[in-house]
Amino acid sequence: MGKKISIDSATLINKIFEVIEASKIFDIEIKKIKIILHPSSYVHALIKFSNGLMNIIAHDTSMKIPIFNTLYWDKPKPLITKKVNFTKLNNLNFINTSKINFPLLDLIKRVPVKDSLFETVIVSANDCLVKLFLDKKIKYTDISKILLKITNMMIFKKFKKKTPRKISDILKTKDFTEKFINDFYLY
């Protein structure tokens, strides 16, 4: 993994993004999605159906598999992968997440039900803050603190009521968010 993705995994913002994506793609209320951790990273999703059945999506930890399947979803092709070590699946050991250890989990409650530009604020602010951290301009712990502070500011809360109509709306929101953070935290 690259530095950015490693930091997103450490703060769990990547899981916040996945919850937002799953909510939008599958038309599921965010409050029905729960984030749990699988330390050995073999289980990528658990899906519980209303009839009581549960599907577990498990595969090798390589991101080649989901990327490959995203590219070839409409024309299945075989992919050569490592053999799954089933003994690792014998003991799944899921871990509940905690807002104490992962404060960004609080962002889930702030995401509006309807599509909005607020999601762009979250992504853009995170990208900008991770860059500031990588450039050694803020501390690692500042990423979560600043992101939570920003998403609670009235100047950014207004984006919860704005629906993106065109790509330029998203780009303007991204630029506005990044400029605000850079102006505020770099000087």
Instruction: Tell me if 159 sits within 8 A of 176, measured CB to CB.
Output: no
Closest CA to 115 of 172, 48, 30: 30
CA distance 7 to 143: 10
* Predicted structure pTM score: 0.83
What does the H/E/C string look like for 55-77?
EEEECCCCCHHHHHHHHCCCCCC
User: What pLDDT does 89 receive?
Assistant: 67
pLDDT in tens, the chain (187 residues): 689 989 998 999 999 999 999 898 889 999 899 998 887 777 888 888 889 999 988 887 777 888 888 888 888 888 888 777 777 666 778 888 888 889 999 999 999 988 999 999 999 999 999 999 999 999 999 999 999 999 999 999 999 999 999 999 999 999 999 999 999 876 5
Largest Cα span, the chain: 56
